Every structure is written in structure tokens, then in C-alpha cells.
Chain A
Amino acid sequence: MVPTKEEFFSVLEFRHGRENQRKFNEATVAICGLGGLGSNIAICLARAGIGKLILIDFDVVDVSNLHRQQYKANQVGMYKTEALKENLLEINPYITIESHTVRMTEDNTVKLVSEADVVCEAFDKAECKAMVVNAVLTHFKDKIIVSGSGMAGFSSANDINTKKLSKRFYLCGDGVSDVNDGIGLIASRVMVCAAHEAHMVLRLLMGEQTP
């Protein structure tokens, strides 16, 4: 049986504290890319009771995604925006989700994320990561971006951390493990990096700036 909204949020208030939960409920977070990072970040934030998520990805679920991304075998072929929305609403039926099934570019990034309090960069390709980080930091004066770089392979999960590079730019990952070096992407290590990003978002929304 699905809990009522009151039941759902009373538990979150108990876990997180009433004031923190109020901040989470009022927050809007944009997630750029819904792969191994983005789908896991979205699930963490939906469970934490973030008020609204803006989900952005142009791609469809592929069988090669299932080993690390939060989709199900019966969702192969669906747009990631639609599949993830379905999964998130099963976890938290009271979250607001805005989906954009588009490829992010320098031209549309500003419009897509303008409403967000915090932006999560969660792309796969290095040039897409750089594009969205540059666009957000250049075009907005007060928006914070949390990004991920370096989470491929079987190296220690302890090498993944969160760094504050400046007051509006946080970087999670080990900074060096490149999927293009043929080391693959492993669910557990990608999830560690996604959890770093999601956790930093929650800390920022609470008013904490240290990584």
C-alpha cells in the first residue's frame, strides 16, 4: 500500500530534521545526463524528498546500460527521461518531475537549467561535462554546479572524493580514471561517485559549503 503524502514526509522529517526537509522540499535540482551517474543521483535525491527534479537526456535505455544504470530490462528502448520518471515515481510518488528529451548544447543549457537551485553534471563524455560546467558557471552568477570526473574501473572506491574547486563548482570522482582507457564502468564505483554528487547537493541545500 502506498503511504500518504503526510506519512511519507513525516518519516523524512524525522530522518533529516524538519528544517532540512523543508529546504529539500522547496528545492529544484537539474540532472544533466541520465546514465550511471544521473540515474543514481536522481534516485538518491528522490528518496531524500527533493521537491522537483529536472531530468535531461536525449537517449533511450540500451541493454548495455543495465549493469550500472537504474533501469529495468523491460525498459530497454524507452527514453531514459520517461523510464526514470516511472521509476522515481514508484519510489516517491510526491516528487515533481520535469523531463526534457533533448541533447544539451551550449545554446539550450541555460534555458534548461535556469530554474534549478543546483545543477548536477552527470554526462558520460568529457567534452559534454566541460560544456555544461562552462555554460553554467559563465552564464549564471549564483548557480552552483556539482560535477563528476573519474569513476571508471576497479580501482579503490576510496580514491573517489568531493572537492570544492570554487564557491560554485564542486567536483566528485578520482579525477583520472578515464573510461576511454578501456577500464570499463563498474556499477559500484559509478554509484560511489553518484552518491558523492547527490550528497553534496543535499549538503548545499542545507547550507553547508564544505565538501
Chain B
Amino acid sequence: MVLVYINGCEQAANGKSVVDVIDEMNIDIRTIAVELNEEIVSKADYDKTTLKDGDVLEVVSFVGGG
């Protein structure tokens, strides 16, 4: 069982990549920034980055206004 923390919530992520997580969240890839264990994940690497046990993933989905 691969357990990871996604935006602070512990969940199973067997074999999931960053892009799988984003797809499940139903968010626009153009409006997000993703950090894995406090390091930015380049958009080009979303599909290549598979989550490992204990990973901490932060998916920031920006909203408009400024």
C-alpha cells in the first residue's frame, strides 16, 4: 500500500502519477502549481512522476482576482 499526503490528507496512491491525481481533482492544469516534498514539479514531468510511499504532494489551484 502506497500512502501519500495530498494537500494534507492521507490517501492511497498505488501506482498513481501526478497527472492521475490532477485528473481526479477535476482542475484546470493551466491554473495549478504542484510541489512534491517541497520541490516544484515541472508540468512536463507530471505524467512521469509516480508517487512513492510517504510523499507529500501539494496541488495549488489558483483562483482569479488581484
Using a CB–CB cutoff of 8 Å, the interface residues on chain A facing chain B are 33, 35-38, 122-127, 129-130, 133-134, 137-138, 147-152, 165-167, 169, 171, 175-180, 185, 190
* The 6 A-B residue pairs with the shortest CB-CB distance in the complex, in nearest-first order: A179-B65, A178-B63, A137-B40, A166-B38, A126-B31, A152-B65
> Looking at chain B's contact residues, is the secondary structure mostly helix, strand, loop, or mixed?
mixed
Indicate if B23 sits at the interface (CB-CB under 8 A).
no
7 A-B residue pairs with CB within 8 Å:
A126-B61, A134-B42, A134-B43, A148-B66, A166-B39, A169-B35, A178-B65
Using a CB–CB cutoff of 8 Å, the interface residues on chain B facing chain A are 28, 30-33, 35, 38-40, 42-43, 58, 60-66
Query: B30's contact among A33, A130, A150, by CB below 8 Å, is which?
Result: A130
B66 touches A35 (CB 8 A): yes
A165 touches B65 (CB 8 A): no
B66 touches A151 (CB 8 A): yes
Nearest neighbor of B56 in chain A, beta-carbon distance: A166
A123 touches B66 (CB 8 A): yes
Query: B66's contact among A36, A134, A176, by CB below 8 Å, is which?
Result: A36
In the assembled complex, the Cα of A193 lies from the Cα of B56 at a distance in Å of 27
In the assembled complex, the Cα of A135 lies from the Cα of B57 at a distance in Å of 19
In the assembled complex, the Cα of A77 lies from the Cα of B32 at a distance in Å of 32
Nearest neighbor of B32 in chain A, beta-carbon distance: A130
In the assembled complex, the Cα of A33 lies from the Cα of B28 at a distance in Å of 22
